[in-house]
Amino acid sequence: MTVFEPVPSYYAASANPVPERPPLKDQVEADVCIIGAGYTGLSTALFLAEAGFKVVILEAATVGWGASGRNGGQIVNSYSRDLDSIEKQTSATHLKLLAEMAFEGGQIIRDRVAKYAIQCDLKDGGVFAALTGQQMKHLESQRALWKRFGYDQLEIFGCPGYSQSCGY
């Protein structure tokens, strides 16, 4: 049997203790079987259980072991491409819907943490860091883009004159 150890990270080191979850040995009957206990699998299972389905989740490692744990448990309002890239490939109507879904996804997580009193040390906010003037320009355009869709909680901090005084 393969043993899956968490990837050494701040998230793994600071996460709440995980209860023992022994391997499935008997048969289990369910309406839906979900493979993978990351954000997507757990969220889907919870949604289906709230709708009255009997759900079982199978996970080869520990809850959140894969991508959900490796991203540091962050709630990121994005897709594999930023909204400005998506904007170039779709209509304004579709872009608006995709932007709303990106921000709604994070809100669903926050709502569930509150509703179920999940002890996960949830902290709102995040940091996007810029080390160069070009990166800072990108962050500023990202903030302006997100603001267009009603998300105005992105605050940018930088050292004054960062291109000179920070050595970049």
What does the pLDDT read at residue 168? Answer: 42
Query: Which residues are CB-contacts of 105 (< 8 A; sequence separation ≥ 6)?
Result: 75, 77
Answer yes or no: is pLDDT of 6 > 70: no
- Better-scored residue on pLDDT, 78 or 163: 78
Query: What are the pLDDT digits (tens) for 108-122?
Result: 889 999 999 988 878
56, β-bridge pairs: 33
Mean pLDDT computed over 94-100: 91
Contact 5, 65 (CB under 8 A): no
Q: What pLDDT shows up at residue 162? A: 53
Q: List, for residues 47-67, the tens digit of each pLDDT value.
A: 999 999 999 999 988 887 777
CA dist., res. 149 & res. 65, Å (int): 32
Confidence at residue 56, expressed as pLDDT on a 0 to 100 scale = 95
Mean pLDDT of 88-108: 90
